[in-house]
Amino acid sequence: MVIPVETATITVTVDGRPYTATVEARKTLADFLREECGLTGTHLGCEHGVCGACTVLLNDSAVRSCLTFAIQADGQEVMTVEGLAAPDGTLHPIQQAFWENHALQCAFCTSGFLMTTYAFLKENPNPSEEEIRETLTGNICRCTGYQNIVAAVADAAARLRGEKHTQPVGGV
Amino acid sequence: MKPATFSYAAPRTVEEAIELLEAYGDDAKVLAGGQSLVPLLNMRLAQPKVLVDINAVEGFDEIVEEEGFVYVPMRVRHVQGERSPLLREKLPVVSEAVHQIGHPQIRNRGTMCGSVAHADPASELPAVLMALDGRIVVKSGDGEEQITPEDFFLTYLTTSLQPGQLVTALRFPLLPPNSSAAFVEFAQRPGDFALCGVAAYLHLDEGGTIAEARLALMGVGGTPFCAEQAEAVLQGERPSAALFAEAAETVSQEVDPDSDIHASAEYRRHLAKVLIPQALEMAAARLGEER
């Protein structure tokens, strides 16, 4: 019989880099990313699958990292918000669109929104506003009122389709 | 660390999974998508000693058609059901119900069998199974059985599953000619738990009268509710707006929902009355498309 274990040594590839650690079975993927990988861009809000702040990509699909155990991600690929920007710090077009559209205030929820948007626009590069709004229902923001987030996602889609050039950061 | 300590096993075969479930009995819980179980663990409302993760079991991850039935095995995630060309073509009612489960992140991970085994009274698939006369395929050391929704769903979050039993598939019959089905629900925002939902199935005879109607409601009690009196109203009649309104009136008398923090009993009854004609109209329109 398969013998159940309380701890295991696992290797998870996060943003292209392998991380190995011995973890308790009960450690969530979110806690693994923050505590074992030091990647604190993934935020934890509700920790029961409602707020979407902890959204990451697991094997290319957006999931709530508070509802997946790290041990389940052994041998798999995870992408976090830290994997969005270029190595030289140039923002990803989605991040740039969020910045320019003022789609964040306190920013606690932002990494979750960014990862949800990243996965969404890969599958649907030209979404309607209704589709954007429906997708964003899985993420809660208590500051913005969502209007600018919706605008930012539409703007990011246009940038990723090559219809709009990203403005350089800084200036005014 | 949010959940209480547990041990974890990821068997590779369904036999190994059942062996673990039998060995640990009440102390074991099946972990599939985890979208309902892990919140309960994180809040320590559930503290199983052993989690049997079925995600590494080989196979059981493709929707298949076999001898007049569509089988949804235990590793199929909601997103697969939502997009399955097979379901969309032959049983669109299932895809449209699954699309209304949770948010994209939840549908990427949660499984259709897991949702049924969890038996939340606000969940979509139990009502769809009931309206389509589907079965829940359950395996244990004693073999396999196919259980009706009426026998499977006992009350809030409670099924007939015994320790050592595993839901391995959902079985939906393909629709016979001149029949169709539809699902509608009302939730305050997309992805929220629905306050009420209706799955409707219509089968017309050659003369265009309703030979069989099945109506299953969710959110109006601890289990999906079969609206037998309203089904009787529909039977033998020709589909019409007036007939559907009469069925809706009957349903609103027939259901006996509870009040809770999300909605009063009266409001749920009202929603049932509003949603019944919508589901029936949608099913009837689909019949029209086939002709």
Longest CA–CA separation in chain A, Å: 66
Coil, helix or strand for B61?
coil
Domain B7-56 classification at class level: alpha beta
Look at residue B291 in the predicted model and tell me its pLDDT. 45
Under 8 Å between Cβ of B149 and B124: no
Model confidence pLDDT, tens digit, residues A5-29: 999 999 999 999 999 999 999 999 9
Residues of A in contact with B43 (CB under 8 A): 48
Domain spans of chain B, in order of start: 7-56, 64-173, 179-290
ipTM above 0.85, yes or no: yes
Contact of A102 with A36, CB cutoff 8 Å: no
Cα separation, A62 vs B72, in Å, equals 22
Q: Is A80 left (phi over 0), alpha (psi -120 to 50) or beta?
A: beta
Confidence of residue A171 (pLDDT cuts 50, 70, 90): very low
| Interface touch B8/A25, C-beta < 8 Å | yes
Q: What is the pLDDT of residue B45?
A: 95
Q: Cβ distance A155 to A147 under 8 Å? A: no
Q: Of 2.40.50.250, 3.40.50.300, 2.40.50.90, 3.10.20.30, which CATH number belongs to A7-83?
A: 3.10.20.30
DSSP annotation of B224 reads -
For A86, other C-beta atoms within 10 Å of its C-beta total 8
- Residue in B20, B53, B105 to test binding to A, most A beta-carbons within 10 Å: B105
Residue A167 has a pLDDT of 59
- List, by residue range, all CATH 3.10.20.30 domains of chain A: 7-83
Cβ <8 Å between A49 and B20: no
Q: Which of B3, B16, B55 has the CB atom closest to A1's CB atom?
A: B16
Indicate if the pLDDT at residue A169 is higher than 70.
Answer: no
Question: How far apart are the C-alpha atoms of A114 and B130, rounded to whole Å?
Answer: 39
CATH of A93-160, one of 3.20.20.70, 3.40.50.300, 4.10.520.10, 1.10.150.120: 1.10.150.120
DSSP string, B65-115: EETTEEEEETT-BHHHHHH-HHHHHH-HHHHHHHHTSS-HHHHTT-BHHHH
Answer yes or no: do B38 and A71 touch at CB < 8 A. no
Instruction: Count residue pairs from A and B with Cβ separation < 8 A.
Output: 112
Q: May I ask the CATH architecture of the domain B64-173?
A: 2-Layer Sandwich (3.30)
Cβ–Cβ under 8 Å, residues A9 and A24? no
Return the CATH architecture of domain B179-290.
2-Layer Sandwich (3.30)
Residue A166 has what pLDDT? 58
Residue B290: its pLDDT value, please?
Answer: 53
Of the candidates B1, B31, B51, which has its C-beta nearest A24's C-beta? B1
A55 contact B CB<8A: yes
Half-sphere exposure of B163 (CA within 13 A, CB side): 12
Could you read off the pLDDT tens digit of each residue along chain B, which spans 291 residues? 789 999 999 999 999 999 999 999 999 999 999 999 999 999 999 999 999 999 999 999 999 999 999 999 999 999 999 999 999 999 999 999 999 999 999 999 999 999 999 999 999 999 999 999 999 999 999 999 999 999 999 999 999 999 999 999 999 999 999 999 999 999 998 888 999 999 999 999 999 999 999 999 999 999 999 999 999 999 999 999 999 999 999 999 999 999 999 999 999 999 999 999 999 999 999 997 654
Mean per-residue pLDDT of chain B: 96
Q: Give the pLDDT confidence of B73-83 residue by residue, as tens digits.
A: 999 999 999 99
| DSSP 8-state class, residue B193 | P
Whether A86 contacts chain B with CB within 8 A? no
**Nearest residue of A to residue B22, measured between CA atoms:** A1
pLDDT surpasses 70 at A79: yes
Torsions phi, psi for B159 (to 5 deg):
-125, 180
Q: What is the 3-state secondary structure of B102-149?
A: CCHHHHCCCEHHHHHHHCCCCCHHHHHHHHCCCEEEEEECCEEEEECH
Nearest CA among B278, B280, B275 for reference residue B238: B280
Give pLDDT, residue B190.
86
What is the 3-class SS of chain A, one letter each residue?
Answer: CCCCECEEEEEEEECCEEEEEEEECCCEHHHHHHHHCCCCCCCCCCCCCCCCCCEEEECCEEEECCCCEHHHHCCCEEECHHHCCCCCCCCCHHHHHHHHCCCCCCCCCHHHHHHHHHHHHHHCCCCCHHHHHHHHCCCCCCCCCCHHHHHHHHHHHHHHCCCCCCCCCCCC
Q: Please return the burial class of A140, using the count of CB atoms within 10 Å of its CB with bins 0-12, 13-18 and 19+.
A: middle
Residue tagged 């229902």 (tokens): A137
Number of CB atoms found within 10 A of residue B15's CB:
12
The contact set of B with A (CB < 8 A) is 1-12, 16, 19-20, 23-24, 31, 34-35, 38-39, 41-43, 50-53, 55, 79, 102-106, 108-109, 189-192
Q: Could you tell me which chain B residue has the CA closest to the CA of A123?
A: B104
Looking at residue B189, its pLDDT comes to 87
**Are the beta carbons of A4 and B9 separated by less than 8 Å?**
yes
What's the mean pLDDT in A82-91? 96
The neighbour count for residue B58, using CB atoms within 10 Å, is 10
**Which residues in chain A are classed under CATH 1.10.150.120?**
93-160
